[in-house]
Amino acid sequence: MDEFMTAAIAQAKQGRDEGGIPIGSVLVKDGKVLGRGHNKRVQDADPVTHAEIDCLRNAGRIGTYKNTTLYSTLMPCYLCAGAVVQFGIKKVIAGESATFPGAKEFMESHGVEVIDLDLDECKNLMQEFIQKNPQLWNEDIGK
């Protein structure tokens, strides 16, 4: 596993430790992390503070997203995939999509390269969380 997915997993664990949903994300360009984030829907009482959105906010205005890669521990949902497409991010690396299939096809249909690493560590983080917090997870995915 590369250092950037490791950083995204660290963000997911931070979110979990804060009482939130364990999803983390990092934005990378030229081998440098521009932003980090984790799902803060619970902590901020904000329904759109998903990990990828938090990451983009923390990266701030970077001018262009050309040649950036977004790492996320879980396949991005349509909200986050929309941000990926809107800003022209051309590569997304997801830790897993077994828990939630997300919007892979949507991103690919807009020219985004999407790689699913299918990592056990990412799946285990989500499975443990969902088992303990099914109602919160269902809220997160709009069920």
* Tens-place pLDDT, residues 54-105: 999 999 999 999 999 999 999 999 999 999 999 999 999 999 999 999 999 9
Q: What pLDDT is recorded for position 136?
A: 83
Give the residue with greater pLDDT, 140 vs 66: 66
- Tokens of residue 123, six digits: 């799946």
Q: Tell me the chain's radius of gyration from C-alpha atoms.
A: 14
Q: If DSSP states are collapsed to H, E and C, what string results for 85-141?
A: HHHCCCEEEECCCCCCCCCHHHHHHCCCEEEECCCHHHHHHHHHHHHHCHHHHHHHC
The model's pTM: 0.95
Is residue 70 within 8 Å of residue 27, measured between CB atoms? yes
Q: Which CATH superfamily is domain 3-141 in?
A: Cytidine Deaminase, domain 2 (3.40.140.10)
Over residues 122-139, mean pLDDT:
91
**Residues marked as catalytic:** 52
Residue 138 has pLDDT above 80, yes or no: no
pLDDT band per the 50, 70, 90 thresholds, residue 6? very high
Q: Name the residue among 90, 93, 14, 17 with its Cα closest to residue 54.
A: 14
Over residues 134-138, mean pLDDT:
83
Sequence spans of domains, the chain: 3-141
